[in-house]
């Protein structure tokens, strides 16, 4: 019953939030924006998004190598895209990260605990980079000026402290991963930079050339909010963030919601690639392990 109700509640909440958002915006402007979006810039956004995912897969493999699991980059990338597919299209199931841990433990006998730590730290390194960029952009956005000096200094402090905090957390809680801390954090910064460039390309496709810091700040904040397992693939949460975030500074929220829809479409199309890799992700034990390691 619990396994059935959880995805149903997610679906219901997703549609409820979308219904609420769509009632608050100009639907005609949303439709016209979607119809006139530049396909060239959207293609650039799609490429940049997938480059960020490829970089994420490389970062995750650094953590795997640290625990002695030496997967081929090609196999690890296939596994990463399958995980993306599970995360987006099977929200009520085991989830992409859980599936990777299950599969690798079953076929490579590497232990659930070290695999869980590797996957968790991969997520946390991405979150640290995301917080760094979000706080930095926020400090130079209209939001900081609107909220006052305390918001500016809080954002600057967060951007400066996030990596020291991550370092000491790794040192005392995940000591075995400390040697790769610097490398993985640099990869994390690269991943989030590619995501920001993807967001910028979507803005260009919509001919949005103003309030760029504000749009990108909201994009990063919505990325954090979308991680919460409340809706399907973060749909609804992102749109709600843009709705209230843009209304706060007197910007037209319809364009922000359009941006959010386009980003989800790019995410969905990219994640769908994992469907075609499902048959290649389970190692054939009869074959040599060197094909996967």
69 is a domain residue: yes
Predicted confidence (pLDDT) at residue 174 exceeds the cutoff of 50: yes
- Report how many domains make up the chain: 1
Q: How far apart are CA 183 and CA 169, in angstroms?
A: 16
Predicted confidence (pLDDT) at residue 94 exceeds the cutoff of 80: no
Predicted confidence (pLDDT) at residue 292 exceeds the cutoff of 50: yes
How would residue 7 be classed by pLDDT, with cut points 50, 70 and 90? Answer: low
284 is a domain residue: no
More confident: 189 or 282: 189
Closest of 284, 280, 142, 110 to residue 217, by C-alpha:
142
283 is a domain residue: no
238 is a domain residue: yes
229 is a domain residue: yes
285 is a domain residue: no
Instruction: State mean pLDDT over 65-71.
Output: 91
- In tens, the pLDDT along 181-211 reads 999 999 999 999 999 999 999 999 999 988 8
Q: What is the pLDDT of residue 125?
A: 92
Phi-psi category of 109—alpha, beta or left, where left has phi over 0 and alpha has psi -120 to 50?
left
Instruction: Give the end-to-end CA distance of the chain in Å, rounded to a whole number.
Output: 40
Q: What is the pLDDT of residue 287?
A: 53
How would residue 293 be classed by pLDDT, with cut points 50, 70 and 90? Answer: low
Q: What is the pLDDT of residue 204?
A: 95
142 is a domain residue: yes
With vertex at residue 154, the alpha carbon angle to CA 149 and CA 157, rounded to the nearest 5 degrees, is 125
H-run or E-run covering 108: helix 96-108
Predicted confidence (pLDDT) at residue 90 exceeds the cutoff of 80: no
The parent domain of residue 108 ranges over: 25-278
Q: What is the pLDDT of residue 65?
A: 94
DSSP 124-171: HHHHHHHHHHHHHHHHTSHHHHHH-HHHHHHHHHHHHHHHHHHHHHHH
17 is a domain residue: no
């Amino acid at each position: 019953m619990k396994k059935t109700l959880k995805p149903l509640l997610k679906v219901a909440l997703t549609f409820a939030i979308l219904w609420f958002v769509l009632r608050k915006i100009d639907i005609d402007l949303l439709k016209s924006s979607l119809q006139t979006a530049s396909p060239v810039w959207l293609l650039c956004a799609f490429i940049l998004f997938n480059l960020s995912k490829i970089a994420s897969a490389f970062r995750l493999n650094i953590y795997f190598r640290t625990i002695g699991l030496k997967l081929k980059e090609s196999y690890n990338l296939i596994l990463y895209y399958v995980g993306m597919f599970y995360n987006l299209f099977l929200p009520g199931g085991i989830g992409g990260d859980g599936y990777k841990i299950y599969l690798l433990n079953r076929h490579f006998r590497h232990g659930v605990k070290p695999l869980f730590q590797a996957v968790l730290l991969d997520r946390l390194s991405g979150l640290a980079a995301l917080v760094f960029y979000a706080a930095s952009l926020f400090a130079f956005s209209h939001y900081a000026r609107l909220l006052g000096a305390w918001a500016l200094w809080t954002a600057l402090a967060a951007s400066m402290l996030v990596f020291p905090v991550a370092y000491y957390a790794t040192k005392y809680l995940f000591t075995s991963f400390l040697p790769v801390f610097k490398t993985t954090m640099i990869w994390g910064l690269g991943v989030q930079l590619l995501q920001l460039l993807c967001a910028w390309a979507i803005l260009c496709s919509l001919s949005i050339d103003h309030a760029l810091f504000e749009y990108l700040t909201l994009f990063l904040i919505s990325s954090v909010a979308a991680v919460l397992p409340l809706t399907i693939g973060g749909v609804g949460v992102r749109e709600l963030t843009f709705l209230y975030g843009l209304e706060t500074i007197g910007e037209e929220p319809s364009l922000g919601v359009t941006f959010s829809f386009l980003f989800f479409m790019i995410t969905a199309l990219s994640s769908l690639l994992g469907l075609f890799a499902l048959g290649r992700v389970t190692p054939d034990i009869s074959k040599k392990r060197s094909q996967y390691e």
